[in-house]
Amino acid sequence: MSDIASKATELLRLHHTGETLVLPTVWDAWSARAVADAGFPALSIGSHPVADSRGQQDNEGMTLDDALDSVRRIAAAVDIPVTADVESGYDTPAVELVGRVLDAGAVGINVEDTVHSEGRLREVAEHADYIAALRTAADEAGVELVINARTDAFMGAVVEYADPLAEAVTRLRACEEAGARCVYPVRVPDARSLETLLAELHGPVNITAHPVDGAPSGSMDELRAAGVHRVTFGPLLQASLGERLTELVRGWR
């Protein structure tokens, strides 16, 4: 546990250096080693690319056992801190989820407010309460688990809000107050919305960007200038490599 605790502390420190932290999103031991070899100080594991690599579906198409099987393999393949997407928690009590995530070797988690198995978004207080329970469980374990609280308020797939930006701010503020160490508004629609989020929220904000051109969020220089604290790639790195792989082999058909 001492190694896990030290990695968690390091991951948290990396969020507060004053520099934009890029955590490339990986899905297996091979991609994790490639990222580590490129010199990144930490990495993220995405549920979508993991599910694709396993021949399963994202949005809770995997079980927690499935997801943690991949997390364990990835964490064992590298010596840098690893944070893992656990969707909405796979209907798992906070104490159990934290214990199993730490046992698998991850020192951070993404937790979203869409419960796909039930086709709904958690209410603001309900999601914040789950984040608070995760924070308490991690603190009691003596580990600075970096909880990255995600909201899907902008997505409109389950619920369409009249003012998605205001809803996202409300949800993410509640998560910050509950103990999230970073917050994650998915699919921020434009630069003005991003500016508002960065102004209204108190801690680090995670933004998804495309590894090739930064779309739709912006280039690394633009995100850095805006004051974005953390960047991940979601499924976009894997998708980009898939396109390149198809291109490489097409001539051999």
Rounded CA separation 202/91 (Å) = 28
Classify 166 as helix, strand or coil: helix
Domain that holds residue 198: 2-250
pLDDT per residue rounded down to tens, the chain (253 residues): 579 999 999 999 999 999 999 999 999 999 999 999 999 999 999 999 999 999 999 999 999 999 999 999 999 999 999 999 999 999 999 999 999 999 999 999 999 999 999 999 999 999 999 999 999 999 999 999 999 999 999 998 888 999 999 999 999 999 999 999 999 999 999 999 999 999 999 999 999 999 999 888 899 999 999 999 999 999 999 999 999 999 999 999 9
- Residue 17 sits in a domain whose CATH number is 3.20.20.60
Taking each helix axis from N to C end, the angle separating 124-140 and 94-104, rounded to the nearest 10 degrees, works out to 50
Cα 201 from Cα 170, distance rounded (Å): 9
212 contacts 225 by C-beta, under 8 angstroms: no
Our count of domains for the chain comes to 1
**Assigned token pair, 143:** 């580990």
User: Model-level pTM?
Assistant: 0.96
Q: Tokens 């921020």 correspond to what residue?
A: 188
CB 196 within 8 A of CB 202: no
Q: Residue 193: how many CB atoms within 10 A of its CB? A: 17
